[in-house]
Structure 1
Amino acid sequence: MPRSRAEPMIADVSEVDFEARVIARSRELPVVVDFWAEWCGPCRTLGPALESAVSDRGGAVELAKVDVDSNQQLAARYGIRGIPAVKAFRDGEVVEEFVGARPRAGVEQFLDLLVPSEAEQLVAASEDPERRDLIRRVMVAIFTELGPSDPLASEHRRRLASALN
């Protein structure tokens, strides 16, 4: 269940609490880990975009920030060779990752891979084949209206097709 906005979705994490705050927590919802350093210019660009995008998800995903200078063993354990490095954990495992700064739209696309869309949630919740077909038809109509050149529609079309299979 998503947490309220009042509860922290963004936390500084160290080697001491990584297991509980990332690995264990990722069994409940996706946890994105931002490996960064204070001296890193691209980290200072990416950090606010990640924080804002995670906050906008209303508790569907959490962000853990790991300072690689203070947590060198943790950085080595996860093979961090360049920063910023972002790894997404689900069920205790890394499921997605990227290295380098990204614009806000790129961060949003990354988070979309971790959090199912409302359409995907509807499909997953429906065991009735007729309802699944109705959802499919409605979504196809929406995507058709948006057109094939709309990048967001293209991404959601792909994700919906995957969910329906």
Structure 2
Amino acid sequence: MNTTLATFENDVIEASALVPVLVDFWAPWCGPCKSLGPLLEKLEHDYAGRWRLVKVNVDEHPQLAAHFQVRSIPHVVAFASGRPIDQFTGVLPESQLRAFIERLVPNPAQLERRAALQALQEGQGALARDHLLAALALDPGFDEARLDLIELLLDEDRSDDARREAGLLSPKTTQGIDVRYNALKTRLDALDAVAELPSTDALEAAVAADPANLDARFDLANALIARRAYEPALGHLLEIVKRDRSFRDDVGRKTMLSVFDLAAHDHALVSAWRRKLSAALH
């Protein structure tokens, strides 16, 4: 594919959000370009869509060459996620060129996860789930995809399935400080706790009757987290922090941090409650 100044944004920047894009700066009079160009085209075909080749004729589009400081050709710039991440000048042997490409291209499981995230953005939850299951079939140890699946299952109120998937996560995720896992575990723990708790109305009545009843307040916070009512849950957790930092080994503050991760999409809410927590701790 040949690109121009007018189409570069679409052909390269936007396209590289899905797969890596290699931009080949060349010219018809350039001898080495005549060797590199066909080799890049062959490898693009061999990789079957795992990366895209885009060509820029520097004689026709000197602005693009100048923008990327191309001083000698052939010159190749690799793009991923909308930005240049690597480059080389001259003709590389096929083995070195393959090694350069291998550092850029996602593996098949990663491609399935990208397709899942795209499907989620388009509101296609079932399709996203299929892509995530395909990613995990290709790479059962792909914890990022499994965390995506757990989150999707929880959003679909399939908590039992989510728990089963959580049990398949690797120790490096479950025993470390993985932020996403800790947040999802808080949500799963809240769902487990709710099954044994009185109704939300009863818990609210208990807290109203005795504001110092931190057990009831924490139970109420869990019930709210399970319903994804994060703001009122944060209010009760902050009250626990203010009243007794030592309660259940500082569970109020720790749970607030997990809720911040659960509600990360709501930047205003998280920012406001982070400030409140910071003020309470000082």
Q: Is the 8 A contact 1:49 1:103 kept in 2?
A: no
- For structure 1, the residue ranges without an aligned partner over 5 or more in a row are 1-10, 133-165
Listed as ranges, the gaps of 5+ residues in structure 2 are 111-137, 147-168, 174-282
**How far apart are the structure 2 equivalents of 1:119 and 1:20?**
25
Q: 2:50·2:106 contact (CA, 8 Å) conserved in 1?
A: no
- Work out whether residues 84 and 100 of structure 1, in 8 Å CA contact, stay in contact via their aligned partners in 2: yes
Higher-Rg member (1/2):
2
Structure 1 window deviating more from structure 2 (117-126 vs 65-74): it is 117-126
Q: 1:51 to 1:122 in 2, by over 3 A?
A: same
Contact 1:68/1:74 (CA < 8 Å) preserved in 2?
yes
Greater relative contact order (CA < 8 Å, ≥ 6 in sequence): 1
**Matched residue, 2:139:** 122
**What is the identity, as a one-letter code, of the residue corresponding to 1:83?**
I
Greater strand share, structure number: 1
Q: Which whole-Å CA distance do the structure 1 matches of 2:41 and 2:141 have between them?
A: 28
Partner of 1:86: 76
Return the alpha-carbon distance in structure 1 between the equivalents of residues 28 and 139 of structure 2. Answer: 42
The equivalent of 1:50 in structure 2 is 40
What is the SS of the residue equivalent to 1:24? helix
TM-score by length of structure 1 reads 0.67
> Which residue number in structure 1 is paired with residue 90 of structure 2?
100
Please state how far the C-alpha of 1:124 moved relative to its aligned partner: 6.3
Pick from 52, 55, 68 the counterpart of residue 65 of structure 1: 55
Larger helix fraction of residues: 2
| Cα RMSD after superposing both structures | 2.3
TM-score norm. by structure 2 comes to: 0.40
CA–CA distance in 1 between the matches of 2:4 and 2:100?
A: 23
| Counterpart-to-counterpart distance in 1, 2:26 and 2:19 | 22
SS at match of 2:25: strand
Per-residue CA deviation, residues 9-68 of structure 1 (Å, 9 max, x unaligned), is xx0111111011001111111111000011001110001111111111110100000000
Matched AA of 1:129: S
Distance 1:68 1:124, change over 3 A: farther
**Counterpart Cα distance in 1 of 2:108 and 2:3:** 30
Aligned identity (percent) is: 40
Choose the corresponding residue for 1:25, options 6, 15, 25.
15
1:13 and 2:30 aligned = no
Cα displacement string for residues 86-115 of structure 1 (whole angstroms, at most 9, x for unaligned residues) = 001011110111000111112111110111
